């Protein structure tokens, strides 16, 4: 099922606190569809995953660090959740820059769970309809997101770029499918 041959996806995370399934399941699903996937972290190197934000799980090695990466080299950006991961990413200037570049270039951005926090700090949620982990909903509404919805996946193509969001690891099958479908259209 190599429907995404030639498509390039950038997954960005911090170096710790990443929700394991929200990183690894989309990575594997996109690779199975034929996409070239690059995992980049703030510092590069090892990244610690967690299960349900509390238990350390496996470490994965990222291919590169965020500094120096450009949206011009990718078709889509994926932001996994995990509260520590998302809180760290939203404060990182390179992560914010990349989100803004993807949005300004009209590219696909996908975020799950607490990942939309980075979208808020990058200033790109205004006018969008999206979903997230429920505790992030008020932050999104305060950041002038057009509408927060409680559904497994929301695809919004307002403001010249496509945003795909989901709530939790339970939504990963729908999230992965939506990303694949969006990438087939570019």
Instruction: State the catalytic residues.
Output: 113-114
Rg (CA), the chain: 14
Closest CA to 90 of 107, 114, 68, 109: 114
Closest CA to 17 of 66, 75, 59: 59
Closest CA to 1 of 27, 37, 31: 31
Pair type for strands 108-112 and 129-130: unpaired
Cα 164 to Cα 11: distance, rounded to the nearest angstrom? 14
For 117, the 3-state DSSP assignment is: helix
């Amino acid at each position: 099922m190599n429907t995404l041959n030639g498509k390039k996806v950038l997954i960005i995370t911090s170096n710790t606190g990443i929700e394991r399934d929200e990183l690894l399941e989309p990575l594997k699903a996109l690779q199975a569809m034929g996409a070239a996937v690059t995992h980049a972290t703030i510092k590069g190197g090892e990244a610690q995953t967690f299960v349900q934000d509390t238990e350390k799980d496996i470490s994965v090695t990222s291919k590169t660090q965020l500094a120096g990466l450009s949206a011009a080299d990718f078709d889509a950006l994926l932001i996994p959740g995990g509260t520590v991961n998302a809180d760290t990413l939203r404060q990182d200037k390179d992560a914010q820059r990349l989100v803004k570049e993807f949005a300004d270039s009209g590219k696909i951005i996908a975020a799950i769970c607490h990942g939309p926090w980075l979208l808020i700090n990058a200033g790109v949620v205004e006018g969008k309809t999206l979903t997230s982990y429920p505790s992030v909903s008020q932050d999104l509404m305060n950041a002038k997101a057009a509408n927060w919805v409680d559904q497994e996946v929301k695809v919004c193509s307002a403001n010249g770029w496509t945003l795909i969001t989901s709530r939790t690891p339970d939504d990963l099958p729908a999230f992965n499918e939506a990303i694949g479908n969006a990438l087939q259209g570019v």
